[in-house]
Amino acid sequence: MNCPLCTQVSSILLRTYPVTELNHLWIKSFGFSPFSKKRKKMIITKRQCAECNLIYFDPPYYGDGEFYRKLSKFPWYYETIKWEFDLAAQLISEIKPASFLEIGCGNGSFLNKITALVKRVEGIDINENAINQCIKKGLAASTTPIKDLEKSYEIIALFEVLEHMDHLSETIHDIVKAISPEGHLILAVPNPEGYLKNVEINLLDMPPHHNSSWAKKTFEYVAYEYNLEIIGYYQEPLRYVHYLCYLGNIIGEHRAIMHSGVKKKLFSFIQSAFLNIFAPFAYLQHRENIVGQTHMVLLRKR
């Protein structure tokens, strides 16, 4: 498979995953199977492009509207308080655009946040339930495909969306086309150098949820290829809730190698005690050395 961003053939094989194993973990973790019967027999490979550094999965498998409807039932899925939301709102207040579009707007949390800052605020998403929530809030939102956008916008933003998308080259072309001359593009994605970078299986960072992973070098490729200029690059500081997840993964790896049920229960008890007592102090010591979950780039159209 060619790279979905730059179409380069050459890539580095990073990992292989049997879909049967992933399917079992999805049912155990989220209560439903996201894979078709045909897909369950396949092997997914994780690769890194030798040209643009994009990490992608082969074969790709993209969640549809129904898949995201099921995930959106979890209260944590559409967060209302996010680092990238606060930072983007600050940048928007400084740029002072007359128009703004959020691609992948969800239930409108960020649109609501900036309605007082921008005259024309719009959003699009493939999740019809989420769009209906936006409309109930009085927001201008629709399921219009990116390729069918007819208006132009002074700022377009995608928060944790690019990694879900297919046809990346064509999609980015269509997005840049919809940006006004000298307008801006805000991209926020999970940071591949973040606190979960060494986790072997992160279900929400692989198909059918995420199909790609974007490093800073990949942002630089996008800027060069689509005649954009990077005017700001930002990394999220490590949040305490993510630090607990980071510790839990480390401790979980040790627990997994224990064969005795009694030992595992004892280990779980010690783990809980450790997290409650020592984690706040360890966080203060480690937070400067561990990268947070998200990174974001601000680009300007040349």
The tens digit of pLDDT for each residue in 168-198 reads: 999 999 999 999 999 999 999 999 998 888 8
Judged by average pLDDT, the poorest of 100-109, 185-194, 220-229, 281-290 is 281-290
Q: What is the pLDDT confidence band of residue 73, given thresholds at 50, 70 and 90?
A: confident
Whether pLDDT at 254 is above 50: no
222-to-170, 218, 295 alpha-carbon distances in Å:
12, 6, 15
Phi and psi based region of residue 106 (left: phi greater than 0; alpha: psi -120 to 50; beta: remaining): left
Question: What DSSP letter does each residue of 84-128 carry, written as one string?
Answer: HHHHHHHHHHHH--SEEEEET-TTSHHHHHHTTT-SEEEEE-S-H
Q: Looking at residues 207-236, what average pLDDT do you find?
A: 97
Return the higher-pLDDT residue of 236 and 268: 236
The tens digit of pLDDT for each residue in 22-55 reads: 999 999 999 999 998 888 889 999 999 999 999 9
The sheet with strand 228-235 has its strands ordered as: 140-142, 120-124, 99-103, 153-159, 179-190, 294-301, 228-235
pLDDT of residue 283: 83
Whether pLDDT at 85 is above 80: yes
pLDDT of residue 260: 53
> Given the structure tokens 């929400």, which residue do they identify?
204
pLDDT of residue 268: 63
Whether pLDDT at 274 is above 80: no
d(CA 195, CA 158): 22
Asked if 8 and 50 count as a contact pair (C-beta separation under 8 A), the reply is yes
The tens digit of pLDDT for each residue in 107-116 reads: 999 999 999 9
d(CA 88, CA 80): 14
| Predicted structure pTM score | 0.86
Task: Provide, rounded to the nearest whole percent, the portion of the chain with pLDDT above 90.
Answer: 69
Q: What is the mean pLDDT of the chain?
A: 90
The tens digit of pLDDT for each residue in 93-106 reads: 999 999 999 999 99
d(CA 66, CA 115): 29
Sort strands 11-18 and 43-49 into parallel, antiparallel or unpaired. Answer: antiparallel
The tens digit of pLDDT for each residue in 1-29 reads: 999 999 999 999 999 999 999 999 999 99
- Rounded to the nearest angstrom, the gap between the alpha carbon of residue 33 and the centroid of all alpha carbons in its chain is 21
Whether pLDDT at 255 is above 50: no
The tens digit of pLDDT for each residue in 111-130 reads: 999 999 999 999 999 889 89
Nearest CA-CA partner of 156 in 183, 138, 126, 117: 183
Question: What DSSP letter does each residue of 190-223 carry, written as one string?
Answer: E-TTSTTTT-S--GGGSTTT--EE--HHHHHHHH
Residue 42: CB atoms within 10 Å: 15
d(CA 270, CA 258): 14
d(CA 203, CA 192): 14
Nearest CA-CA partner of 5 in 175, 179, 212, 169: 169
The tens digit of pLDDT for each residue in 144-158 reads: 999 999 999 999 999
